[in-house]
Amino acid sequence: MSLSNSLVQQDLSSHIHPFTNLARHKEVGPTVIEKGDGVYVIDNNGRSYIEAMSGLWSVALGFSEDRLVKAATQQMETLPYYHSFTHKTHAPAIKLAAKLAELAPGDLNHVHFTNSGSEANDTVIKLVWYMNNALGRPQKKKFLARQQGYHGSTIASASLTGLPRSHRDFDLPAIPVRHLTAPYFYRFGLSGETEAEFVERLAQELETVIDEEGPETIAAFIGEPVIAAGGVIPAPEGYWQRVEAICRQHDIVLIADEIITAFGRLGTMFGCQYYGFQPDIMVLSKQLTSSYQPLAAIVISDAISEVLTENSGRIGSFAHGFTTTGHPVATAVALENLNIIEERQLVDHAKVVGARLQAGLNGLASHPLVGDVRTVGLMGGVELVADKETRRMFDPRGALGGYIFRQAHEHGLIVRNIYDTIAFCPPLIISEKHVSTVIDAFAGTLDDAAKWVRAEDLK
Ligand code: PMP
């Protein structure tokens, strides 16, 4: 048996994959990715794919950035591990906290680390609860989130997530949370309603929910500036300003889950800057290290930080953290990653290549399968429909998206399907030429899909 075959066999017999149909995996087997090269990855059969999803929306610098390897190696050789409990710390965590405080807008000046985005959102829930206990308002604990939002997979962060399959079968949500309508105009805008009227209706819904629950019971509102894993849904104009104003009015902490949108994805350093609102807490991960190391960061306002500090002085300590919180190798890699993003002006670059991606995807809008093209910065979603006029989805939902996900491989392309929306989120370093490669490969895949729909008689 060849090495690659034995790898496949071992995977099938011993590896349980995340977010995978495990029964189907036994039939189709794994794609074993062996190497990275810029915006390409190469599988164990030597086949290369242009990675139009940056892995999981995260590999800003592509798959072969030597400087990140050097930063990790150097830190491993100097101090491979130390913690930050009980007054200890180390230079990379300090420098990264200072750097993020400098980059973050407004009074977001204080940073706490975790290992993953899910842990970060769990930690944010605890922080907000801790804060309201300290402020003597223990009843102010409920969270507001959105349907289609994605905030993680741990028990509490998955409770914030607004996707049925993250709740069904897992007995979630397990924390007090209400999910509001997603700002998804294409699907949830009413016939004849303008986008501005839609935003107003969502604002009314938010006010009504706050009123029903009682503002004294609502701790926080969490949202991704652009809903990503739930379907690539950029916020309509004015949406975030309305949410921000309503949160301020009721003393509700506004949390921007910037795990995908931070560090240039929208052509601005942070997504809240693109939309022009100021959160009280910002959650960062993914492009923070280009995912070369697991790391997330929570950036909190002066006011929240003051409460935490004052209260822990009263009760003895802020009793929360993980063994590898602010890991030296991960924080050293993040620092170098941010240096490179700044040196190479990748935030501005994202704007330029983003415009090219947007033009390319919009150019496919007339394709018979394409219902909606949604783009913002260097990210896009193409929603496929059975009927362009009525916006009817194919039945079963996701079958066509699944076909495109697999068929794209034949065109040397990696995309992701969210049911029948195809997502694009290439590395920030992508060139205009490589954006064209992505668009051409996707156009070819769409043509195959049209033939497949006819052959399968998919309706
Ligand atoms: N929030 C958002 C917006 C995300 O996109 C993700 C990951 N896709 C998470 C939270 C969870 O992060 P992690 O997978 O690192 O736990």
Tell me, in angstroms, the distance from the centre of ligand 1 to residue 117's CA. Answer: 5
For ligand 1, whether the C-beta of 297 sits within 6 Å is no
Tell me, in angstroms, the distance from the centre of ligand 1 to residue 121's CA. Answer: 9
Average pLDDT over residues 321-325: 97
Q: What is the pLDDT at residue 2?
A: 66
Pair of tokens at residue 355 = 């415009």
Tell me, in angstroms, the distance from the centre of ligand 1 to residue 229's CA. Answer: 9
Contact assessment for residue 96 and residue 335, using Cβ atoms and an 8 Å cutoff: yes
Q: What is the CA radius of gyration of the chain?
A: 22
Distance (Å, whole) CA 285 – CA 1: 40
Average pLDDT over residues 248-274: 98
CATH topology assigned to domain 31-64+345-456 = Aspartate Aminotransferase, domain 1 (3.90.1150)
Taking the CA of residue 294 as reference, the ligand 1 atom at the shortest distance is: 15
* 400: pLDDT strictly greater than 70: yes
pLDDT, averaged across the chain: 97
Contact assessment for residue 399 and residue 384, using Cβ atoms and an 8 Å cutoff: no
* Ranges in the chain annotated CATH 3.90.1150.10: 31-64+345-456
The residues near 224 (Cβ < 8 Å, ≥ 6 apart) are 149, 150, 151, 256, 257, 258, 259, 260, 261, 271
Q: C-alpha 230: how far from its chain's center?
A: 9
Residue among 447, 410, 441, 407 at smallest CA distance from 424 = 441
* Ranges in the chain annotated CATH 3.40.640.10: 68-343
Q: What is the pLDDT at residue 214?
A: 98
Residue among 48, 75, 71, 13 at smallest CA distance from 289 = 71
For ligand 1, whether the C-beta of 416 sits within 6 Å is no
Please provide the DSSP assignment of 189-208 as one string.
Answer: SPTT--HHHHHHHHHHHHHH
Taking the CA of residue 229 as reference, the ligand 1 atom at the shortest distance is: 5
Of all residues in the chain, what percent carry a pLDDT higher than 90?
Answer: 97
> ipTM of this predicted complex?
0.99
Q: Could you tell me which CATH class the domain 68-343 is placed in?
A: alpha beta
Distance (Å, whole) CA 84 – CA 89: 5
For ligand 1, whether the C-beta of 229 sits within 6 Å is yes
Tell me, in angstroms, the distance from the centre of ligand 1 to residue 19's CA. Answer: 13
CA torsion 299→300→301→306, rounded to 10°?
Answer: -140
Helix (H) or strand (E) holding 129: helix 117-134
Distance (Å, whole) CA 48 – CA 411: 10
Q: Return the DSSP state at 172.
A: -
- The per-residue pLDDT for range 157-186, each reduced to its tens digit, is 999 999 999 999 999 999 999 999 999 999
For ligand 1, whether the C-beta of 285 sits within 6 Å is yes
Q: For ligand 1, atom 12, which residue shows the shortest CA distance?
A: 117
415: confidence class by pLDDT, cuts 50, 70, 90: very high
Q: Which residue has the tokens 């990503």?
A: 228
Q: Kindly list the distances between the CA atom of residue 435 and the CA atoms of 173, 178, 225, in Å, as whole numbers in the listed order.
A: 39, 39, 24
- The per-residue pLDDT for range 138-159, each reduced to its tens digit, is 999 999 999 999 999 999 999 9
Taking the CA of residue 257 as reference, the ligand 1 atom at the shortest distance is: 3
Distance (Å, whole) CA 437 – CA 454: 26
Average pLDDT over residues 40-55: 98
Distance (Å, whole) CA 349 – CA 356: 11
For ligand 1, whether the C-beta of 149 sits within 6 Å is no
For ligand 1, whether the C-beta of 259 sits within 6 Å is yes
